[in-house]
C-alpha cells in the first residue's frame, strides 16, 4: 500500500505543475486539478487505512458511503465528472471557459478537498 | 413525431429522419445479470429490475423538478455499471447543477440496490462521443437536436 507521505508528495508535485500552467490550457488545468485532488484524497484514505482503492469506482464508492468524507465527496465527484468529460472534447474551452477555472474548478472544488484532507489527516 | 418513451408514437409524413428508442429492456436485463454477478448481490434479476425501474422513476421525477436546467437525460449500461448522462440547458458545464447531481448520485447509490451508478454531465453537441443512443434509454427530453 502506498504511504500517506508518498501521496502527499505527488499531491504537491501536481500542485506545482498546476501553478505553472499557462492560461492557454484550461482543459489541462482541470485535469491537473483533478490529480491534485485524487492524490490528496488517497493520502487521506491511506491515513485512514482504507485498502480497497483499486479504481475510480472503488474510490467513489468509499466517498459516497462514508459520512466522514462528505465534504470531500461534494467537491470531488463534480471534479471527477468534469475531468472525465473535458479531456475528450474537441473544444473544451467552450464547455469550461477559462474564467471558470480559478473561480469554480480550483476555489470551488480543489481548495475544499485539500482543506478537508488536511483537517482529517490532522495537518492543520 | 415523438421519439421518447411513450405508449403512442406519432410520426408525421416528412423528410425528417426517424430515430426510435426501444425501451432496451434486453440490454438492461443483460446488464442486470452482470451487475448481480459482479457485485455478488444476493437478489434475483426480477428484484434487480424492480430496483432499476424504481431508480429510473426517481430520476425522471428529479429531472422534472430541475427541468429548467436539464435538456436531456440518458441512462446507459456499461459493463457492470449504470451511468446517467445529463445534458444541461446551458452550453457550458453547469456548476450549480453539478452540485445537485452529487446529491442525486449519492441518493441513487444508497437507495437502490442496482450496483454501481455514475452520473455525468455532458455537452448537448457531443452526446455521441459519450454514449451510443441506440444502446441507451432516453429518460428525459427530446433528443432530435442532440446528435
Smallest CA–CA separation between A96 and chain B, in Å? 6
User: Between residues A6 and B17, which one has the greater pLDDT?
Assistant: A6
Grid coordinates representing B4? 421518447
Beta strands in B22-113 (DSSP E): 70-78, 81-88
Smallest CA-to-CA distance from A41 within A109, A114, A105 is with A114
By the 8 A CB rule, do B98 and A81 touch? Answer: yes
Chain B residues in contact with A100 by the CB 8 A cut-off are 92-93, 95
Strands B81-88 and B116-121: parallel
Environment class of residue B7 by beta-carbon count within 10 Å: exposed (0-12), middle (13-18) or buried (19+)?
exposed
Model ipTM? 0.90
Q: What is the pLDDT of residues B24-35, one digit of tens each?
A: 677 777 778 878
Separation between Cα atoms, residue B92 and residue A115, nearest integer Å: 27
By the 8 A CB rule, do B77 and B31 touch? Answer: yes
Smallest CA-to-CA distance from B88 within B113, B63, B108, B118 is with B63
Mean pLDDT of B113-137: 91
The SS3 assignment for A1 reads coil
Tell me how far CA of residue A113 lies from CA of A21, A63, B5, B135, in angstroms: 20, 12, 40, 35
Q: What is the pLDDT of residues B57-99, one digit of tens each?
A: 999 999 999 999 999 999 998 877 899 999 999 999 999 999 9
Top-confidence range, A41-45, B37-41, B47-51: A41-45
Asked if A64 and B120 come within 8 Å (Cβ–Cβ), the reply is: no
Domain B26-145 is found in CATH 3.30.460: yes
Asked if B99 and A74 come within 8 Å (Cβ–Cβ), the reply is: yes
All structural domains of chain A, each given as residue ranges with its CATH number in brackets, are 4-121 (1.20.120)
DSSP class of residue A110? I
* Chain A 6-65, residues with CB within 8 Å of chain B CB atoms: 57, 60-61, 64-65
By the 8 A CB rule, do B143 and B72 touch? Answer: yes
Supply the pTM of this predicted model: 0.85
- Long-range contact pairs involving A24-27 (C-beta distance under 8 Å, separation at least 24): A26/A92, A26/A93, A26/A96, A26/A97, A26/A98, A26/A101, A27/A86, A27/A87, A27/A89, A27/A92, A27/A93, A27/A96
User: Between residues B144 and B87, which one has the greater pLDDT?
Assistant: B87
Amino acid at each position: 500500500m502506498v504511504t500517506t507521505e508518498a501521496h502527499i508528495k505527488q499531491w504537491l508535485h501536481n500542485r506545482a505543475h498546476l501553478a505553472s500552467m499557462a492560461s492557454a490550457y484550461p482543459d489541462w488545468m482541470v485535469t491537473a486539478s483533478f490529480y491534485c485532488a485524487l492524490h490528496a484524497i488517497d493520502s487521506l484514505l491511506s491515513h485512514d487505512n482504507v485498502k480497497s482503492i483499486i479504481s475510480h469506482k472503488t474510490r467513489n464508492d468509499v466517498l459516497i458511503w462514508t459520512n466522514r468524507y462528505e465534504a470531500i465527496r461534494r467537491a470531488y465527484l463534480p471534479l471527477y465528472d468534469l475531468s472525465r468529460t473535458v479531456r475528450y472534447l474537441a473544444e473544451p474551452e467552450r464547455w469550461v471557459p477559462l474564467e471558470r477555472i480559478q473561480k469554480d474548478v480550483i476555489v470551488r472544488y480543489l481548495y475544499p478537498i485539500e482543506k478537508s484532507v488536511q483537517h482529517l489527516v490532522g495537518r492543520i | 413525431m415523438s421519439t421518447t418513451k411513450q405508449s403512442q408514437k406519432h410520426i408525421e409524413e416528412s423528410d425528417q429522419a426517424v430515430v426510435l428508442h426501444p425501451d432496451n429492456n434486453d440490454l438492461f436485463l443483460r446488464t442486470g445479470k452482470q451487475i448481480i454477478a459482479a457485485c455478488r448481490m444476493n437478489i434475483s434479476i426480477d428484484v434487480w429490475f424492480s430496483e432499476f425501474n424504481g431508480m429510473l422513476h426517481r430520476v425522471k421525477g428529479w429531472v422534472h423538478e430541475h427541468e429548467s436546467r436539464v435538456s436531456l437525460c440518458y441512462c446507459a449500461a456499461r459493463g457492470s455499471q449504470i451511468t446517467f448522462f445529463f445534458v444541461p440547458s446551458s452550453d457550458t458545464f453547469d456548476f450549480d447543477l453539478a452540485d445537485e447531481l452529487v446529491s442525486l448520485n449519492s441518493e441513487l447509490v444508497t437507495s437502490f440496490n442496482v450496483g454501481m451508478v455514475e452520473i455525468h454531465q455532458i455537452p448537448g453537441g457531443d452526446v455521441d462521443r459519450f454514449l451510443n443512443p441506440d444502446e441507451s434509454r432516453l429518460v428525459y427530453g427530446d433528443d432530435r437536436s442532440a446528435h
